């Protein structure tokens, strides 16, 4: 499918040039919390993508009927309803994942990216564009989460998605030379990693500005 | 239409809230049974974990659970799951406590002497992955196997979770997790408080004999339907325990 220039920008912009995490610095809180391991980061990324895209569409459909004075409340109700739905569905069909993410699913409601996209985009754009915008922003958020989680799980635990990458025999405990980096397990390390990504991103995109 | 009038705003808010409420109530109703089944299955899997059953390749954990768990006793509102493994009874106690970020829980399986730990399983709501969350992993849980919850005098003293190099007076201990002091202390406290809540059960010597009730509050009450002059079973030493299933 050929995408028009505008569609392309809406969908792909948030992945790089206008990334919600590294450029707009939104959603940092959950980026710290769920990136110790790759699996919760993946599920969180998917859940946020689905919820941003769907709430964007719903708000966009309702945009001409929403009274201005209570628009934030209406947005919040829509987001909260979707988050509750996702949480209920996960509990029914993917109980392990739901338990692992526990409170973070509920905390999607407070993710600034959602309210940001609803306010800045969905309130003034058509449903299809809003859908693409939500998809793009969700994926833009997801890939940062996955990148951070990849580094943290690999160096913090020597595994990826629970599979051992760094051989047991390398460890000091087994007579080797290697030890996991305990710092990677701390939330502060996620902040440092996000900082590094922002740094790399800015220096790569310098000429475009 | 004026979308900014007071009437419109109020009606709009009401309608939105009602639609959302009905939708969520409906979903909750439809998915409820499935979620409860998941919760029940999760509890069964955890109990099987405490009984050292490997369920990673088990197609039907619920059937395994049904085949192992013979009975559930209520002790002052706390459940005891009575299991039978290779002919020996095991008592599984439910644990509940607090970790660093949220609640922790677990199941502790005791041998028939109500002293030796057969197996332990822990769960948590939101401990740090890679640190406190390691309490659910085998290396930590396996440390508990074979430890005794009583001291030499037979008092319930629980098992301490301590930093390697420190020793507890008068009780057995396992190593705490490095980097997760508060979660480890939480496990230690959970074991102590929960075991003391089970004291009524743990301090009753197990019953033996055919014609006796299972030991919930007191020992060896004659079972209903027993002949009055039936031989009253006596309290046996714990080693002679025999669970009466008839």
What ipTM goes with this model? 0.73
Query: Which pLDDT belongs to residue B206?
Result: 52
Q: Do A37 and B9 touch (CB under 8 A)?
A: no
Measured in angstroms, the CA of A93 and the nearest CA of chain B are apart by 8
Check whether residue B127 and residue B215 sit in a common domain. no
Q: Could you tell me the mean pLDDT of each successive run of 10 residues in chain B, 246 residues long?
A: 85 93 94 91 89 80 85 84 85 91 90 88 82 86 90 86 83 87 92 89 60 44 46 42 39
Check whether residue B156 and residue B210 sit in a common domain. no
Check whether residue B66 and residue B168 sit in a common domain. yes
Query: Which pLDDT belongs to residue A3?
Result: 64
Query: Which pLDDT belongs to residue B242?
Result: 41
- Tell me the domain boundaries of chain A: 26-204
User: In which domain, by residue range, is B140 found?
Assistant: 61-202
What backbone torsions phi and psi does residue B73 show, to the nearest 5 degrees?
-110, 145
Query: Which pLDDT belongs to residue B212?
Result: 46
Check whether residue B161 and residue B238 sit in a common domain. no
Query: Which pLDDT belongs to residue B107?
Result: 93
- Three-state secondary structure along A136-193? HHHHHHHHHHHHHHHHHHHHHHCEECCEECCCHHHEHHHCCCECCCHHHHCHHHHHHH
Query: Which pLDDT belongs to residue A157?
Result: 80
Q: Do A102 and B31 touch (CB under 8 A)?
A: no
Q: Which residue of A has its CA nearest to B22?
A: A81
Measured in angstroms, the CA of B31 and the nearest CA of chain A are apart by 6
Examine residue B172 and state whether it is found in any structural domain, yes or no: yes
Check whether residue B77 and residue B173 sit in a common domain. yes
Quote the number of domains for chain B. 2
Check whether residue B213 and residue B150 sit in a common domain. no
Examine residue B27 and state whether it is found in any structural domain, yes or no: no
Residues from chain A that touch B13, judged by Cβ atoms under 8 A, are 67, 70, 73-74
- How many CB atoms within 10 Å of residue A47? 22
Closest CB to A92: pick one of B24, B34, B126.
B34
The residues of chain A scoring below 70 in pLDDT are: 1-3, 102, 207-209
Check whether residue B193 and residue B211 sit in a common domain. no
- Three-state secondary structure along A41-66? HHHHHHHHHHHHHHHHHHHHHHCCCC
Examine residue B20 and state whether it is found in any structural domain, yes or no: no
Check whether residue B169 and residue B242 sit in a common domain. no
Check whether residue B157 and residue B72 sit in a common domain. yes
Q: Which residue of B has its CA nearest to A92?
A: B35
**Distances from the Cα of B114 to the Cαs of A112, A199, B168, in angstroms?**
53, 60, 21
Query: A186, A43, A55, A53: which is closest to A105 by C-alpha?
Result: A43
Check whether residue B220 and residue B178 sit in a common domain. no
Rounded CA-CA distance B204/B45 in Å is 28
Closest CB to B3: pick one of A67, A89, A156.
A67
Check whether residue B222 and residue B110 sit in a common domain. no
Check whether residue B187 and residue B141 sit in a common domain. yes
Query: Which pLDDT belongs to residue B226?
Result: 44
Long-range residue pairs from B17-26, CB within 8 A, at least 24 positions apart, any chain: B17/A77, B20/A77, B20/A78, B20/A80, B20/A81, B23/A81, B23/A85, B24/A81, B24/A84, B24/A85, B24/A88
**Distances from the Cα of B5 to the Cαs of A60, A67, B1, B9, in angstroms?**
21, 8, 9, 6
Closest CB to A77: pick one of B16, B38, B39.
B16
Q: Do B4 and A92 touch (CB under 8 A)?
A: no
Rounded CA-CA distance B95/B38 in Å is 20
Examine residue B3 and state whether it is found in any structural domain, yes or no: no
Total H helices, total E strands in chain A: 9, 2
Q: Do A88 and B31 touch (CB under 8 A)?
A: yes
Residues from chain A that touch B11, judged by Cβ atoms under 8 A, are none
Examine residue B83 and state whether it is found in any structural domain, yes or no: yes
Q: Do B4 and A40 touch (CB under 8 A)?
A: no
Q: Which residue of A has its CA nearest to B3?
A: A67
Closest CB to A88: pick one of B8, B16, B27.
B27
């Amino acid at each position: 499918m050929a995408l028009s220039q505008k569609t392309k920008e809406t969908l792909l912009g948030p992945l790089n040039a206008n990334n919600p995490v590294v450029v707009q610095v939104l959603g940092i809180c959950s980026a710290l919390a769920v990136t110790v391991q790759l699996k919760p980061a993946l599920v969180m990324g998917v859940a946020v993508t689905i919820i941003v895209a769907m709430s964007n569409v719903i708000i966009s459909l309702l945009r001409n009927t929403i009274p201005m004075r209570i628009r934030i409340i209406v947005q919040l109700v829509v987001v909260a309803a979707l988050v509750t739905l996702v949480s209920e569905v996960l509990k029914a069909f993917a109980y392990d994942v739901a338990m692992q993410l526990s409170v973070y699913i509920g905390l999607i409601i407070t993710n600034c990216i959602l309210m940001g996209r609803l306010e800045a985009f969905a309130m003034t754009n058509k449903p299809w564009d809003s859908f693409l915008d939500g998809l793009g922003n969700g994926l833009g958020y997801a890939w940062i989460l996955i990148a951070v989680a990849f580094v943290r799980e690999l160096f913090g635990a020597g595994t990826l998605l629970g599979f051992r990458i760094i051989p047991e025999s390398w460890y000091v405990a087994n007579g080797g030379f290697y030890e996991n980096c305990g710092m990677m397990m701390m939330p502060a390390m996620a902040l440092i990693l996000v900082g590094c990504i922002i740094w790399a991103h800015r220096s790569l995109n310098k000429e475009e500005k | 239409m004026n979308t900014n009038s007071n009437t419109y705003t109020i009606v709009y808010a009401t309608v939105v809230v009602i639609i959302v409420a009905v939708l969520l109530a409906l979903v909750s109703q439809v998915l409820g049974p499935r979620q409860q089944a998941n919760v029940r299955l999760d509890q069964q899997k955890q109990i099987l974990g405490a009984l050292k059953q490997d369920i990673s390749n088990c197609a039907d954990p619920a059937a395994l659970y049904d085949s192992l768990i013979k009975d559930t006793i209520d002790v002052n509102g706390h459940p005891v799951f009575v299991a039978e493994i290779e002919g020996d009874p095991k008592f599984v106690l439910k644990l509940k406590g607090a970790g660093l970020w949220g609640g922790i829980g677990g199941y502790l399986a005791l041998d028939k002497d109500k002293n030796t730990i057969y197996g332990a399983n822990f769960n948590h709501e939101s401990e740090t992955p890679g640190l406190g969350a390691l309490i659910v992993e085998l290396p930590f849980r396996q440390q508990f196997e074979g430890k005794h919850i009583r001291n030499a005098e037979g008092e319930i003293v629980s098992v301490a979770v301590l930093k390697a190099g420190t020793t507890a007076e008068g009780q057995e201990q396992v190593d705490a997790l490095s980097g997760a002091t508060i979660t480890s202390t939480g496990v230690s406290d959970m074991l102590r408080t929960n075991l003391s809540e089970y004291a009524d059960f743990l301090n009753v010597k197990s019953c033996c004999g055919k014609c006796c009730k299972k030991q919930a509050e007191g020992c060896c009450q004659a079972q209903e339907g027993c002949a009055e002059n039936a031989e009253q079973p006596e309290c046996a030493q714990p080693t002679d325990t025999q669970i009466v299933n008839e």
